A and B are shown apart, each in its own frame.
Chain A
């Protein structure tokens, strides 16, 4: 290997290290959440202030809790409680839904990404 080769190698290693640092940094913190409820326009909730919000669904009221820039289902009138078991939604793109009650919550940060890709 010549000196120029070594320079290229070192630059390449630096580039890859920078790529790892840049691409695998933690996802940006959430900024707001979009709440969809059947038959109603979407509701946007800012995640800055801690509070509880009650959403009227098909079966009854669903309680959403906002704390530390995150949001979760706290109480729901459904049987399965999958929505509650989804836990805290914190990063951009995180999504949970209560299908029986027709309430869905998605966290939206700087940009709306896809929640999944398949091809």
Chain B
């Protein structure tokens, strides 16, 4: 007996965009990081662009698949880094979901990206505190990391904006 899956257009779109996000993720791993946690989060460009073009569900699929497949590529599946990555992705997806339903198209890619970056960082630090380093000293890092998230979130948002303008023009 053979089981057949019906592959929809949506599935293919998610697969392509996830592959794009993975490419960015792997590219980013090549950059040296001055501090643990300092990463541009380029893969979030794809999440935000997908959110604007195709909606939250597509964006959620891409973000979660990217975390899973990215950890397999990096060899960090089920490691502490994976737990942090996953909690960051979940936090940013939750905030994006809220933002979409509350703002009703008032936000652009820049706003979404900013919110996603801050939520990602917040979720990661929260998870790091709960799971690995339950010490208040961890929060001394929070302002610095949040500042980085602000800058990278803005830049990624601007990139995502130009990406969606090309995508939606077609």
Contact = CB atoms under 8 A, between A and B. Distances in A.
B110 interface: yes
Contacts of B101: none
Contacts of B137: 113-114, 117
Interface of A: 1-5, 8-9, 12-13, 15-16, 19-20, 23-24, 111, 113-114, 117, 119
Interface residues of B, number: 24
Nearest to B154: A9
Interface string B89-121: 000000000000001001110110011001000
Nearest to B117: A12
A4 B106 contact: yes
Most B CB within 10 A of own CB, among A12, A20, A119 = A12
Contacts of B135: 113-114, 117
B14 interface: no
A19 B148 CA distance: 13
A5 B140 contact: no
Contact of A2 (B106, B133, B142, B147): B106
5 smallest CB-CB distances across A and B, nearest first, come from A5-B111, A4-B106, A19-B143, A20-B143, A8-B111
B143 A12 contact: no
Q: By DSSP majority rule, is chain B's interface helix, strand, loop, or mixed?
A: helix
A61 B3 CA distance: 84
B36 to A, nearest CB: 10
A9 B112 CA distance: 10
Given A19-B142, A23-B140, A24-B140, A8 B133 contact: no
Given A13-B150, A114-B137, A24 B143 contact: yes
Contacts of B114: 5, 8-9, 12
Q: By DSSP majority rule, is chain A's interface helix, strand, loop, or mixed?
A: helix
A1 B114 CA distance: 12
Contacts of B157: 5
7 contacts: A2-B111, A8-B111, A15-B118, A19-B142, A19-B143, A20-B143, A23-B140
B50 interface: no
B16 interface: no
A53 B97 CA distance: 61
A113 B150 contact: no
A78 to B, nearest CB: 31
Contacts of A5: 107-108, 110-111, 114, 157
B32 to A, nearest CB: 21
B136 interface: yes
